[in-house]
């Protein structure tokens, strides 16, 4: 066999010494990953890493850049002297995984990091308050089956991050409020009246999973009843054998899980002007608690987002529902805490709008679905159907 390119078998992938990428000979068949796809993947990784860990400025800086660095340093000093800030939180246990800001060394912006087991546990304390977030992988099959056996008599969302938590604790009173997926799912109504255009097809796609869950619960219930009273319980499934009623849209009515907090209605309002001030952000995190594509009929999504400033914090828990050609639904819970006065406000808002009405408000006719995937835009363009605000006593 001759050496060189002519002797290479067809379809053989040769490394390019100039770029380190894998290339395919022109005469061969591409059975692997195209070089352009490899390069695109690399660029995406670079984009993520640059966003998580901004590079310190090098070389000559302009006068405005130098002035900005000095001003930010002074602001950091004044914040540290005025408030009792601890990073990680004063009661944090274990290693701190808070990435430090590359520009000032103190601003905390949590981001995913590689660890075994894969998890992030960032935290911070300001005055009497400590803030914790826990981010872990999606629940596996064994974990979801255990939840169906012990807690939830219905199929869980396709992607559920049951170990993700955001928690705010008052270190003096031990009062706390947290947001997690499992407690949120406890607030579901027994069933939903919403139907997709091809509801029967969707029902068939979920029947197998729902039947398995229901059968286990029925067997457990019958076994318990037989042991206790030797009587057999009867169960009446609906719309298909083994499928018990549940809200298939996962439209939670969740205001957080409160411990030692007593919320009562108030006339106070969210201090919007204070929240809009360009105060430095000492801590920021966001996470997904669960997500389901509703059998390719839309999306059901629960997320949390929290930002902590020197004087206050704001937490947003948002449930977003889109059923294609049917409805949009947004349910927001906001927690505001003032670190000076220890005022705690909880705002809850429900919004709903028909799919067609929202579609009419889209201005980008080239890609109308883009705006309809933006939860903020949708929230600004659908009516409020319920609103309440409470303060902690």
Which of 24-28, 72-76, 118-122, 216-220 tops mean pLDDT?
A: 118-122
pLDDT value at 332 more than 60 = yes
Name, in order, each residue with C-beta under 8 angstroms of 272's C-beta and a sequence gap of 6 or more: none
Which of 56-65, 204-213, 374-383 tops mean pLDDT?
A: 374-383
Question: With contact defined as beta carbons under 8 Å apart, do 131 and 89 qualify?
Answer: yes
Name, in order, each residue with C-beta under 8 angstroms of 261's C-beta and a sequence gap of 6 or more: 175, 176, 177, 344, 392
| Residue 177 pLDDT level (bands cut at 50, 70, 90) | very high
* Helix, strand, or coil (residue 320): strand
Using CA atoms, how far residue 290 sits from 47, 101, 149, 214, in Å, is 25, 29, 19, 21
Name, in order, each residue with C-beta under 8 angstroms of 224's C-beta and a sequence gap of 6 or more: none
pLDDT in tens, 237-293: 334 444 556 788 999 999 999 999 999 999 999 999 999 998 888 888 889 999 999
Instruction: Determine the pLDDT at residue 364.
Output: 85
Q: What is the full DSSP assignment across 122-180?
A: -EEEETTEEEEEEB-PPP-HHHHHHHHHHT-SSPPPSEE-TT-EEEEEETTT--EEEEE
pLDDT in tens, 102-144: 444 455 555 545 455 556 678 889 989 999 998 888 999 999 9
Q: Which residue has the higher pLDDT, 62 or 352?
A: 352
Q: What is the mean pLDDT of residues 316-343?
A: 95
Q: What is the mean pLDDT of residues 195-199?
A: 57
Comparing 6-20, 275-289, 304-318, the range with the smallest average pLDDT is: 6-20
Cβ atoms within 10 Å, residue 185: 24
Instruction: Determine the pLDDT at residue 33.
Output: 47
Give the whole-angstrom CA distance, residue 166 versus residue 164. 7
pLDDT in tens, 343-360: 999 999 999 999 999 999
Specify the residue for token string 């883009």.
370
Instruction: Determine the pLDDT at residue 28.
Output: 44
pLDDT value at 170 more than 80 = yes
Cβ atoms within 10 Å, residue 254: 22
Average pLDDT across the chain, whole number: 75
Q: What is the full DSSP assignment across 324-339?
A: TTTEEEEEEEEEEEET
Q: Which residue has the higher pLDDT, 217 or 88?
A: 88
Task: Give the residue from 322, 287, 285, 323 showing the smallest Cα distance to 303.
Answer: 287
Q: Where are the beta strands (DSSP E) in 181-275?
A: 257-259, 263-265
pLDDT value at 339 more than 50 = yes
Q: What is the mean pLDDT of residues 52-73?
A: 46
Instruction: Determine the pLDDT at residue 280.
Output: 86
Q: What is the mean pLDDT of residues 137-155?
A: 92
Instruction: Determine the pLDDT at residue 8.
Output: 45
| Residue 308 pLDDT level (bands cut at 50, 70, 90) | very high
Comparing 124-128, 179-183, 326-330, the range with the smallest average pLDDT is: 124-128
Instruction: Determine the pLDDT at residue 215.
Output: 54
The pTM of the full predicted model, rounded to 2 decimals, is 0.69
């Amino acid at each position: 066999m001759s050496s060189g390119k002519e002797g290479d078998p067809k379809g053989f992938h040769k490394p390019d010494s100039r770029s380190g990428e894998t290339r395919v000979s022109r005469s061969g068949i591409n059975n692997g990953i195209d070089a352009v796809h490899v390069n695109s993947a690399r660029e995406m990784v670079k984009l993520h890493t640059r966003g998580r860990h901004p590079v310190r400025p090098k070389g000559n800086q302009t006068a405005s850049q130098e002035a900005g660095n000095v001003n930010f340093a002074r602001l950091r000093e004044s914040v540290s002297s005025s408030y009792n800030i601890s990073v990680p939180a004063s009661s944090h246990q274990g290693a701190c995984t808070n990435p430090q800001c590359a520009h000032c060394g103190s601003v905390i912006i949590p981001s995913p990091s590689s660890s075994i087991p894969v998890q992030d546990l960032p935290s911070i304390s300001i005055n009497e308050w400590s803030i914790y977030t826990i981010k872990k992988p999606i629940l596996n099959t064994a974990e979801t089956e255990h939840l169906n056996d012990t807690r939830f008599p219905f199929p869980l969302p396709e992607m559920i991050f049951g170990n993700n938590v955001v928690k705010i604790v008052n270190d003096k009173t031990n009062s706390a409020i947290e947001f997690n997926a499992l407690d949120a799912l406890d607030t579901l109504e027994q069933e939903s009246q919403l139907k997709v255009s091809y509801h029967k097809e969707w029902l068939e796609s979920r029947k197998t999973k729902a039947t398995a869950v229901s059968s286990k619960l029925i067997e457990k219930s019958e076994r318990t009843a037989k042991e206790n009273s030797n009587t057999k319980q009867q169960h009446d499934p609906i719309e298909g054998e083994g499928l018990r009623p549940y809200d298939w849209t996962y439209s939670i009515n969740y205001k957080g899980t409160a411990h030692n907090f007593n919320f009562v209605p108030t006339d106070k309002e969210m201090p919007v002007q204070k929240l809009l001030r360009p105060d430095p952000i000492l801590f920021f995190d966001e996470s997904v608690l669960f997500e389901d594509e509703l059998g390719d009929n839309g999306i059901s999504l629960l997320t949390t987002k929290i930002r902590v400033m020197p004087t206050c914090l704001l937490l947003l828990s948002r449930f977003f529902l889109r059923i294609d050609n049917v409805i949009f639904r947004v349910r927001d819970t906001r927690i505001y805490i003032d670190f000076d006065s220890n005022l705690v406000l909880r705002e809850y808002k429900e919004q709903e709008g028909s799919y067609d009405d929202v579609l009419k408000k889209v201005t980008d006719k080239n890609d109308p679905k883009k705006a309809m995937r933006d939860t903020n835009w949708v929230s600004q363009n659908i009516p409020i159907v319920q609103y309440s605000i409470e303060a902690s006593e």
